């Protein structure tokens, strides 16, 4: 009985690990879709993941909220497959690119995030 329990626990653990998504590549583009920087090293991706996971959702999803200019695009590639394109303003405001109304997010440390992405904050 104990062997069966251990086998099932190990099997579930392997399945859970294989379904986990991980950021494998981040590409930053400017307003004209030129590549500014690509994050691919383990250290860069770890720092990006840390900052990205701490972003805070804006409480309002009202369609008439103040518009934001998004001069940058952040392409996030995930494993095992997939990814998203996010719009980004150096003030630390971001939202996923879609045709529907979606929430905006705020990056806690925009200066650090901008430096990682290779962009300058608005002056």
pTM: 0.77
Within a 10 A sphere around the Cβ of 8, how many other Cβ atoms?
A: 10
Per-residue model confidence as pLDDT tens digits over 38-78: 999 999 999 999 999 999 998 876 655 667 789 999 999 99
DSSP letter string, 61-108: --TTSPP----EEEEEEEESS-EEEEEEETTTEEEE--SS----EE-S
Domain assignments of the chain as residue spans, ordered by start:
22-117
Residue 26: pLDDT band (50, 70, 90) is very high
């Amino acid at each position: 009985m104990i062997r069966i329990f251990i086998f099932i626990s190990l099997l579930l653990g392997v399945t859970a690990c294989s379904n986990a998504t991980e950021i494998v590549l981040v590409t930053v583009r400017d307003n004209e879709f030129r590549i500014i920087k690509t994050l691919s090293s383990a250290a860069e991706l770890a720092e990006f993941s840390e900052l990205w996971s701490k972003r805070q959702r804006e409480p309002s999803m009202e369609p008439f909220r103040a518009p934001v200019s998004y001069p940058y695009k952040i392409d996030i590639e995930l494993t095992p497959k997939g990814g998203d394109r996010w719009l980004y303003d150096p003030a630390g405001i971001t939202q996923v690119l879609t045709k529907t109304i979606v929430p905006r997010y705020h990056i806690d440390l925009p200066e650090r995030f901008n430096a990682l992405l290779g962009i300058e904050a608005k002056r």
